[in-house]
Amino acid sequence: MPEPQSILTARRQFAQRGAIADEVMSKAILRSWTRCASHGLHMAARPSVEPMTAGALHQLRDQHDLLRRRCRPELETLCVEAEATHGIVILTNASGFVLERLGCIEFADRTARVALSPGVSWCESVTGTNAIGTAIAERRPIEVRGSEHYFELHGILSCWAAPIIDPKGITVGVLDLSGSAATHRTHALGLVRLAVDQIEHRMFDEGFEHCNVLRFHPDQAMLGTPREGIVVFEDNKLIAANRYGLGLLGLDAEMLGARRFGELFACRLASIADRCQLRNHSGDSFAARLRRPAERMVPKALPPQPSARSLPEPWFDEAVLAARDRAVRMIEADIPVLLQGETSAGKEMFARQVHAHSARSGRAFVAVNCAALPESLIESELFGYVEGAFTGARRHGHMGLLRQADGGVLFLDEIGDMPLALQARLLRALQEREVTPLGGARTVAVDFAVICATHRNLPDLVAAGAFRSDLYFRIAQYTINLPSVRSLADRTALIRRLWNQLGGSDAKATLAPQSEALLAEYDWPGNFRQLVGALRALLTLAEPGQPVTPDMLPAEIRAGALPAMSSPLSVPSADTEPCRIGRLDEMTKHTMRHTLASCGGNVSEAARRLGINRSTLYRRLLSEGA
């Protein structure tokens, strides 16, 4: 590196004559100074920069969200080095606009005085010679120290930057490490280059599943590292490569799309093994690994999603239909919906109706019963896995249910029964809208609306530490309580509607008035699933033109209408003075009798209040002549 005094002398010479007598500067810096002068920039002037508005910066970051996520691990790693040496690490897009700035807060405040801030462009035509802009112009790693910057104002900085080049040979961004010019950093450029190598290396992990991907290097120990050569062939044509692959073959990015495998290696692509030794036409030998096109991890063929018109007419009353319409508005605004209701209260039917009436109706509806999946499998079923992730994994991996819901609606039923250990991963997936398959290193972006459902009291689970509070507040931004069958005011109308939907009118089968009354009086602890099942059974038993009589009803339905039927149970009045009880067994029976009395003889309601099964209540009160 030239001495500071030599740089100052060179600056005076260049400002006066536009040239340097002695070659004291690197050729890259001199080329940059020449370009800056051609743009009409003056070394002693102050750069004219216009910071973006907050809205424009937000839009810029959104446009480069994939680049930011790909670079996040290296940004975090370099940030540790930057903070230790009182510097900052910067990520820009291909035009030099700053997307991210991390590191020492004190130094970041100092750099803000020279506009080294998010949303500001550091291309050469605006801010003169600097590591970011010059790395873009030169398409290679660059260091610019102190007064090597074109503008005098930037002499307080020393910067090291490398362009990020994608597999197609296109510059997509720049990674930069900047610090005070007074601090000497021997290995700064090496750290930046290594970080960019790792970013570029990961870019080949996705997008080339249909191609032959060849990884090679003269030293076998370098295979699998960021410095291995990577070349990608589609139908024997070279379509992508990293800078090491191009360098080992003596090519540049302009050769992409213009060379075939046989022009580069002394063999045929179809004849080589997955692990092999290759030679090019110059006789150079390489250790190589070939990944051939594999079956892509795509979801199984899903049946066509039903439209709102093709779905069966729901049992919903006007209140539930209004709730459905509100839920549609919620998910279209990307607001999660939580459905509360008893088991079999129709939560999945409601969710399917929301999906069918939403703008996502043409995409997938993926229902996941969190209580039905084994705890050992739920993670792999939700997030998927890559090939070889564990013993017994499918050959080509598994996409996972969250990725299958991409573009549509994800319905998480019985969310309250999800294992606590898995809730953190689900929360991250819902917040970041990205999924990392088991055994994989890369994340996959997903887009789905979220509807959750449970019969459990989630706030109680949160209080008991059995459900994460942050996940609860993430999924319960809008809650809908679905009614049980017994809470409906007009059960007779519901029974008639379901009977006709199931085909009763088509079969010319009718329900006798007494049967209809018994069905309406029963409280249906199994809710709609039990009711529909019972009606289907009766429809099977029905004879055309003949009514379904009470004797054809299941015994529990006939017994459920206790006040209208004779019962062996002795029901005391609700205001009977309790007797003096000594034994626990007698106390239990006494409590049961009074609960039954307070419920007007309704066995099901009394059992619900007592927290026991109806059969248990019958058995205890019928025993010993109770």
Give me the numbers of helices (H) and strands (E) for the chain, helices first please: 24, 19
Residues 471/418, Cβ–Cβ less than 8 Å: no
Residue 9: its H or E element:
helix 4-17
C-alpha distances in angstroms, 324 versus 275, 287, 368, 531? 57, 61, 20, 22
Q: Please state, in angstroms and rounded to a whole number, the distance separating the CA atoms of residues 151 and 512.
A: 95
Q: How many Cα atoms sit within 13 Å of 377 on the Cβ side? A: 12
- Same domain? For 280 and 371 the reply is no
Alpha helical stretches, state H, 128-225: 131-138, 188-202
Pull the structure tokens for residue 537: 């059974």
- Same domain? For 341 and 392 the reply is yes
What pLDDT does 309 receive? 42
Phi and psi of 209, rounded to 5°? Answer: -65, -25
Q: Please state, in angstroms and rounded to a whole number, the distance separating the CA atoms of residues 386 and 567.
A: 62
Taking alpha carbons only, the member of 507, 581, 498 closest to residue 541 is 507
CATH number of the domain to which 225 belongs: 3.30.450
CATH number of the domain to which 174 belongs: 3.30.450.40
Using 50 as the pLDDT threshold, list the residues of the chain that sit under it. Answer: 295-303, 307-312, 391, 562-583, 624-626
DSSP letter for 386, please: -
Task: Provide the angle, in degrees to the nearest 10, between the axes of the packed helices 513-521 and 527-541.
Answer: 160
- Same domain? For 243 and 336 the reply is no
Contacts of 188 (CB under 8 A, 6+ apart): 143, 160, 177, 179
Phi and psi of 597, rounded to 5°? Answer: -65, -40
Virtual CA dihedral for 125, 126, 128, 129, nearest 10 degrees?
-70
Residues 258/174, Cβ–Cβ less than 8 Å: no
Specify if 609 maps to a domain.
no
Last residue of one domain, picked from the residues 274, 291, 308: 291
Residue 503: Cβ within 10 Å count? 12
CATH number of the domain to which 472 belongs: 3.40.50.300
Residue 561: Cβ within 10 Å count? 21
3-state SS, residue 578: coil
- Same domain? For 341 and 469 the reply is yes
Q: Return the CA Rg of the chain.
A: 36
What pLDDT does 73 receive? 86
Task: Provide the angle, in degrees to the nearest 10, between the axes of the packed helices 491-501 and 527-541.
Answer: 60
- Same domain? For 103 and 161 the reply is yes
Taking alpha carbons only, the member of 184, 147, 178, 186 closest to residue 161 is 178
Specify if 509 maps to a domain.
yes
C-alpha distances in angstroms, 290 versus 189, 212, 220, 230, 394? 32, 7, 14, 10, 21
Q: State pTM to two decimals.
A: 0.50
Residue 410: its H or E element:
strand 409-413
What pLDDT does 115 receive? 75
Alpha helical stretches, state H, 18-104: 27-38, 54-63, 65-84
Residue 276: Cβ within 10 Å count? 15
Residues 596/556, Cβ–Cβ less than 8 Å: no
Q: Which residues pair with 279 in a beta bridge?
A: 285
DSSP letter for 623, please: G
Residues 605/523, Cβ–Cβ less than 8 Å: yes
Pull the structure tokens for residue 403: 């990725």
Taking alpha carbons only, the member of 558, 560, 563 closest to residue 597 is 563
- Same domain? For 502 and 431 the reply is no
Pairing of strands 449-454, 337-340: parallel
- Same domain? For 155 and 272 the reply is no
Pull the structure tokens for residue 312: 């069966």
Residues 422/473, Cβ–Cβ less than 8 Å: no
- Same domain? For 173 and 61 the reply is yes
Pull the structure tokens for residue 143: 């260091």
Q: Please state, in angstroms and rounded to a whole number, the distance separating the CA atoms of residues 468 and 474.
A: 10
Q: Please state, in angstroms and rounded to a whole number, the distance separating the CA atoms of residues 88 and 616.
A: 71
What pLDDT does 516 receive? 86
From the number of C-beta atoms within 10 Å of its C-beta (0-12, 13-18, 19+), residue 111 rates as: buried
Specify if 297 maps to a domain.
no
Last residue of one domain, picked from the residues 165, 185, 200: 200
Domain that holds residue 544: 485-560
CATH number of the domain to which 550 belongs: 1.10.8.60
Pull the structure tokens for residue 276: 């092999």
Specify if 600 maps to a domain.
no
Q: Which residues pair with 434 in a beta bridge?
A: 445
- Same domain? For 156 and 262 the reply is no
The pLDDT tens digits for 403-462 are 888 889 999 999 998 888 778 878 888 888 888 777 666 778 888 999 999 999 999 999
For the chain, the domain total comes to 4
Q: Please state, in angstroms and rounded to a whole number, the distance separating the CA atoms of residues 562 and 196.
A: 77
- Same domain? For 337 and 428 the reply is yes
- Same domain? For 249 and 170 the reply is no
Phi and psi of 291, rounded to 5°? Answer: -110, 115
What is the length of the chain? 626
Taking alpha carbons only, the member of 56, 34, 26 closest to residue 125 is 34
Residues 179/85, Cβ–Cβ less than 8 Å: yes
Last residue of one domain, picked from the residues 560, 577, 601: 560
- Same domain? For 349 and 462 the reply is yes
Residue 453: its H or E element:
strand 449-454
Specify if 408 maps to a domain.
yes
Specify if 13 maps to a domain.
no
Residues 538/548, Cβ–Cβ less than 8 Å: yes
Specify if 12 maps to a domain.
no
Specify if 620 maps to a domain.
no
